[in-house]
Chains A and B, each alone.
Chain A
């Protein structure tokens, strides 16, 4: 079956612009996670949802970052007024339930802020 998909795969933007990154989890998966991964580092937790409820947003770096999952399926991570330091790979993962700790990752969106 289809895995986690993310779009766009690559995004180049100018400093100060807003960007929206989309994640489509595995069908039926309850939990959805956003991570950021810098080159040579492991993924860093940003936020996560159970259904449409945002359960934990402690990893969001500042208030320019927000995420939503209004219908409990597709999620959008929005970065407002992008800065060069926001450049990274943004990864989404999903799991069948919160208790199911196996997370399936998508291919990621590589964001470059010029």
Chain B
């Protein structure tokens, strides 16, 4: 089983739609969780951290369920510019604060 699993997509949605991505992780001792965004042929960039209580940043909402080892990202009112690959990222509990494990990514395509 992969350490971080995501549906690779692609998710094709019309502009204005709401779309949700899910991710599961295998290491129950993982401490920190993130969503990164990667545009085609570009480097990954941090989109948002994911907190146990859930957190929101504009149109983006991230949630964490530690019991189920499940992370989600909700995008409301999708824009064309949201088209990208969304990477679920987990900080492995190895005593190394920032050893990140990335999922394969979920590709989103927003269309007119």
Which positions in A face B, CB cutoff 8 Å? 31, 33, 35, 40-45, 48, 55-56, 58, 91, 95, 98-108
Contact = CB atoms under 8 A, between A and B. Distances in A.
Contacts of B96: 48, 55-56, 98
Lowest 8 A-B CB distances belong to which pairs? A42-B102, A105-B43, A98-B97, A43-B102, A42-B87, A56-B96, A102-B46, A41-B104
28 contacts: A31-B98, A33-B100, A35-B102, A41-B104, A42-B4, A42-B103, A43-B44, A43-B100, A44-B102, A45-B99, A45-B100, A48-B99, A56-B94, A56-B96, A56-B99, A91-B43, A95-B98, A98-B97, A99-B97, A100-B98, A101-B32, A101-B97, A102-B46, A103-B46, A103-B100, A105-B43, A105-B44, A108-B43
A58 B95 CA distance: 13
Interface of B: 4, 8, 32, 34, 42-46, 49, 87, 89, 91, 94, 96-105
